[in-house]
Amino acid sequence: GDCRGGRIRIKMRRGFGSRGLVLVQVVLLAAIVGERGAEGLGFDLVSSRVKCFSEEISGNTLVVGTYEVEASSSSQSMPIEVQVTDPMEKVLHSKEDISKGSFAFTTTIAGDYILCFHNKGLTSVQDQRHVKFTMKHGIDAKDYSKVMNSDHLSPLQTNIVKVRDQLTAIYDEMIDQASPTPTSPLLYPGRWLALLHPSAGSYLSCPSASVC
């Protein structure tokens, strides 16, 4: 998909390989990724420009991503650099003159994680390169085909495991957003869903005071 949509904000960020601050556009990934699904996003990056994408992610969350830059038809040099930073602007992944690649990490703190691409061609070069990327986290980052093969699960059982993980993620988000009190009990996933146990092939219900 093309990333022409989505909310855009302007933010001061440290430049690639420099100590100065540069003004860049930061596109909020959550505002556009829902429209495009898992196919990824694509955009044209003009020479000397930087484009960044921001995603708010919880702590202790797996994040995986891929990127690919189409070959340039121009005779001018326009190398693309990629960089991923955490909410404290610590660099988690950085690579110069990319053609394609990937990254994976587990977040340590909650906040905005930012993926940036920089076309390092000269300002005088009136040309651009096309960049495609994916960035997934949490349930979306988990490879359930590997889970199915390693645990010898059927497609149905694998889908049930995925639903269970989604419920757990929702529950964890509820915990993050609100502190439980004696007068406001939380809804545990196990109270309202009976899950098919992958290995035993029988229905597994959780005790009311526990979480599956």
pLDDT averaged over every residue in the chain: 71
Over residues 170-202, the pLDDT tens digits come to 777 677 666 554 444 444 433 333 333 343 333
Q: Tokens for 158? A: 């694998």
**pTM metric for this prediction:** 0.64
> Would you say residue 102 has pLDDT above 70?
yes
Largest CA distance in the chain: 69
Residue 133 and residue 68 in contact, taking contact as beta carbons nearer than 8 Å: yes
Start-end ranges of CATH 2.60.120.680 in the chain?
8-141
Which residue's structure tokens are 């146990």? 197
In angstroms, the CA 43 to CA 51 distance is 9
- The 10 Å Cβ neighbour count of residue 47 is 20
Mark out the alpha helices in the chain (DSSP H runs): 30-36, 144-150, 155-177, 189-192
Average pLDDT over residues 152-160: 79
Residue 108 predicted with pLDDT over 60: yes
What number is the average pLDDT over the span 133-156?
Answer: 79
CATH 2.60.40.1760 for domain 8-141, yes or no, is: no
pLDDT in tens, 46-70: 998 999 998 889 888 999 999 999 9
SS3 193: coil
Distance CA 145, CA 41 (A): 23
| pLDDT band at 91; cut points 50, 70, 90 | very high
Strands 50-57 and 21-28: parallel
User: Per-residue pLDDT for 206 more than 50?
Assistant: no
Sorted by sequence, the CB contacts under 8 Å of residue 61 that are 6+ apart come out as 106, 107, 137, 138
